[in-house]
Amino acid sequence: MLPPSEANQRQSPIEPNLDANLQAMQNIFTDCGDIMFRQFKAGGSVKAAVIFTKLLSNSEGVFKALILPLMNHKLESANVQDILETILPVSCYTEIHTHEEAADHVLRGNPVVFLDGRTPAFAVYLEKWEKRGIEEPTSEAVVRGPREGFTESIEVNASLMRRKIRNSRLKMKTFEIGSETKTNVMMVYIEGIAPPQLVQDVSNRLSGIQIDGVLESNYIEEYIEDHPHSPFPQMINTERPDVAAANLLEGRVVIMTDGTPFALIVPANLNALLQSPEDYYQRYMISVLIRFLRLFFLGMALLLPSVYVAILTYHQEMLPTTLLISVAQSREEIPFPALVEALLMEITFEILREAGIRLPKQIGSAVSIVGALVIGQAAVSAGLVSAPMVMVVAATGIASFAIPRYNTAIAIRMLRFPIILLAGSLGLLGVMLGLIAIIVHLGSIRSFGYPYLEPLSPSKRDYMKDFLFRAPWWTLRKRPRHVPQGSYTPPSSGK
């Protein structure tokens, strides 16, 4: 982290002299063409000034709610508190005692008013800026369920949460993180449902973050997660208010960051990361079928290429004779071993997938799908790869799309490559060793002190109703009651 400058450490108090205050503010806002200094006479005799930014403040509201009432009312001996309570038609305001505090409010879109001979100054909440409307989330599409998603405005997101949970026990605690950006980060929880030790732990971790700026929620995620070097995500990120509300009702904590539509949910476990919000919006029999299919596709996405490489390289006797002859014929002209062939196709598929994401939406999906078909067919025709290998890689790619959360799918895609290398070196023994290593790693992970494989390990029978299958709603009578285990060591905050 860059050390704060001496200028940021000094705090200059508001003075009764208006000219001195304006000079101090002009020194702070040197070369800031969007900052407006509007001077006028309050009550016809008292010199006054309002400072605001025309980009983030409601200019019409500044005139109607501040300048006009102050010009038309006699101030006489009225102090600042009397002016705020009897003259100004504003609902939200705050007193300002230093020039640095005044500058911070101006940059947030809140006009600051200075009156000659009177202290303190005061800021009025008249923010106004362009923001995206509430739209359907693109990263968590469902067939049945709410269509509204979070936006980049933390105020809008907080209002969406209030609409979902109309309860005074829904608490929202705000933090200001980033010495330069001063980004608002909000911790949301339900008092009496979220464990007090979890709420305190999240609050302590957020308070301890020291960074220049926060532009997306991943900045927060990397600072407060328990195992920053693990490929598996330890927090749920979501664009959906209904998902956030459902997790609040289960006793989790939601972290919302201003400037991004993605909220973080803690603690997380593997079971929660493999669930889709639509699991709870369909009939329970359909949800059970989809969950089992999802687990099967998870295994395919992780192990199918490595098992294929291991069998072709070391365990040909496991294949039926007819299938073995067919595969041998398809590989007759291939110059590469199965390991190189699998790595070549997997890397090519990942390149196409990333290219499809970065290209414009109208052509991105077409390029990724058509490109895979064309390149696969060309590679088979050129004799570089076999047709069965193309089918295996294609099936693996499609299976990875069935994993509902992108960050979980990324972890599976990353781990696929070392397991392929183990399969090419040790056969099915290498596949088993890789799988055992992953399971051991998952068993050692904690998310805010809570076991990652819960309720499977440690086993909790009561919560199995919402694990491999989802029981009907009328049988789900208990909330998850987690017990934190282990300790947390925060990562280094230095840059």
* Dist CA 348 CA 35 (whole Å): 51
pLDDT of the residue at 423: 95
Which of the given ranges, 212-226, 359-373, 471-485, has the highest pLDDT on average?
A: 212-226
Q: Going by C-beta distance under 8 Å and a sequence separation of 6 or more, which residues neighbour residue 59? A: 52
Asked if omega into 267 is within 30° of 0 (cis), the reply is yes
* Interior angle at CA 329, CA 323 and CA 330, nearest 5: 90
- Looking at residue 421, what is its pLDDT? 95
Of 81, 50, 47, give the one whose Cα is nearest residue 66. Answer: 50
DSSP 146: -
Whether a cis peptide bond, with omega within 30° of 0, leads into 16 is no
3-state SS class at 490: coil
- Whether 9 shows a pLDDT value over 60: the answer reads no
Query: For the segment 137-163, what is each residue's pLDDT rounded down to a tens digit?
Result: 888 888 888 889 999 999 999 999 999
Residue 5: the pLDDT is: 41
Instruction: Report how far residue 250's alpha carbon sits from residue 245's, in angstroms, rounded to the nearest whole number.
Output: 9
What is the CA angle 474-136-259, rounded to 5?
110
Task: State residue 361's pLDDT score.
Answer: 66
183-190 β-sheet, strand order: 170-177, 183-190, 253-257, 263-266, 236-238
Measured distance CA(292)–CA(469) in Å, rounded = 8
Average pLDDT over every residue of 291-302: 93
Confidence of residue 6 (pLDDT cuts 50, 70, 90): very low
pTM comes to 0.84
Rounded to whole angstroms, how far apart are CA atoms 301 and 393?
9
pLDDT value of residue 466: 81
Q: CB 296: neighbour CB atoms within 10 A? A: 12
Percentage of the chain modeled with pLDDT above 90? 44
Question: Across the chain, what does the average pLDDT equal?
Answer: 86
> What pLDDT was estimated at residue 1?
37
Classify each residue of 94-124 as buried b or exposed e, where b means 16 or more C-beta atoms within 10 Å of its C-beta. Answer: eebebbbbbbbbbbebbbbbbbbebbbbbbb
Q: With 70 as the cut, is the pLDDT of residue 488 above it?
A: no
Helix/strand/coil for 51: strand
Q: Is pLDDT above 80 for 4? A: no
User: What pLDDT shows up at residue 363?
Assistant: 64
- Range with lowest mean pLDDT among 5-9, 17-21, 131-135, 460-464: 5-9
Q: Hunting for tokens 């969406």 — which residue is that?
A: 160
Q: What is the pLDDT of residue 465?
A: 78
Closest CA to 190 of 479, 463, 473: 479
Q: How far is CA 16 from CA 13, 22, 26, 77, 473, in A?
A: 10, 11, 17, 14, 64
**Are the C-beta atoms of 151 and 261 separated by less than 8 Å?**
yes
Per-residue confidence (pLDDT) for residue 8, from 0 to 100: 45
Question: Which has the minimum average pLDDT: 84-93, 211-220, 295-304?
Answer: 84-93
Please write the tens of the pLDDT for every residue from 439-455: 999 999 999 988 999 88
Quick one: average pLDDT of 204-221?
A: 93
Give percent of the chain with pLDDT exceeding 70.
91
Q: Which pLDDT tens digit goes with each residue over 319-357?
A: 888 888 888 888 888 888 889 999 988 888 888 888 777
CB 257 within 8 A of CB 155: no
Q: Is pLDDT above 70 for 2?
A: no
At residue 365, the pLDDT reads 61
| From 227-236, 252-261, 374-383, the region with the lowest mean pLDDT | 374-383
Model pLDDT, residue 495: 39
On the question of pLDDT at 489 being above 70, the answer is: no
Structure tokens at 117: 């001979």
Strand 46-53 versus strand 112-115 pairing type: antiparallel
The structure tokens listed for 127 are 């923010």
Evaluate whether 70 touches 42 at the Cβ level (below 8 Å).
yes
| 235 has a pLDDT exceeding 80 | yes
**Cβ 473 vs Cβ 287: under 8 Å:** no
* Virtual torsion, Cα 403, 405, 407, 408, nearest 10 deg: -40
End-to-end CA, the chain: 4
